[in-house]
Amino acid sequence: MPIRDIMPWRRRERSDVLASRDAFEDTFMGLQKEMNRLFDNFFSDFGPGLARPELSAFTPRVDVKETADEIKVEAELPGLSEDDLEVTLDDRSLIIKGEKKAEKEKKDNGYHLVERSYGAFYRRLPLPAEVEDNKVEAAFDKGVLHVTLKKSKQSREKTVKVKTK
């Protein structure tokens, strides 16, 4: 009986060592990819520019409220003016698009600072009901866009009284 048959451990052949090393590397690389994906997803919740600055874009926050007679949309657009915005109504969708441009320059003793930021945005909001094209109102006040859309008479909710027989 060979001595290696009675030993509690055995010496690995070179092919076993290489195979286990490849398995370890595959497992480790898979773990690293999964951790990268986890961190990318986590940091993307804090805004588009934090996880990957090269993919940063400006995405305004939008609230849509519906009543029986109208639909109200509020979009937060800090740093923009009404000249930077374009609001259109297109086949049961409200489209808000614009471009944010900012440049700041500061000179002081011994330094010169120039900061620029640009970002275009496009939001298409599907409307929950048909609206009257000629009764759309838009106002821009302190960085907030307010759009009021009057519902058409056909799309307004109607309560039907249930009768008993």
Q: How far is CA 88 from CA 68, 100, 107, 123, 147, in A?
A: 22, 18, 41, 11, 11
> Residue 18: helix, strand or coil by DSSP?
helix
> Is there a single domain that holds both residue 49 and residue 80?
no
Report pLDDT digits (tens) over 92-115. 899 999 887 778 888 888 888 888
> Is there a single domain that holds both residue 43 and residue 84?
no
Q: Which domain holds residue 103?
A: 58-155
> Is there a single domain that holds both residue 94 and residue 115?
yes
Q: How far is CA 44 from CA 30, 55, 63, 121, in A?
A: 21, 11, 21, 17
Query: Does residue 113 lie in a domain region?
Result: yes
CA distance 139 to 24: 61
Task: Say what the pLDDT of residue 44 is.
Answer: 60
Query: Of 56, 81, 98, at which residue does a domain stop?
Result: 56
pTM for the full predicted model: 0.55
Q: Which residue has the tokens 């500061």?
A: 106
> Is there a single domain that holds both residue 108 and residue 141?
yes
> Is there a single domain that holds both residue 89 and residue 149?
yes
Report pLDDT digits (tens) over 137-164. 999 998 999 999 998 877 666 677 888 8
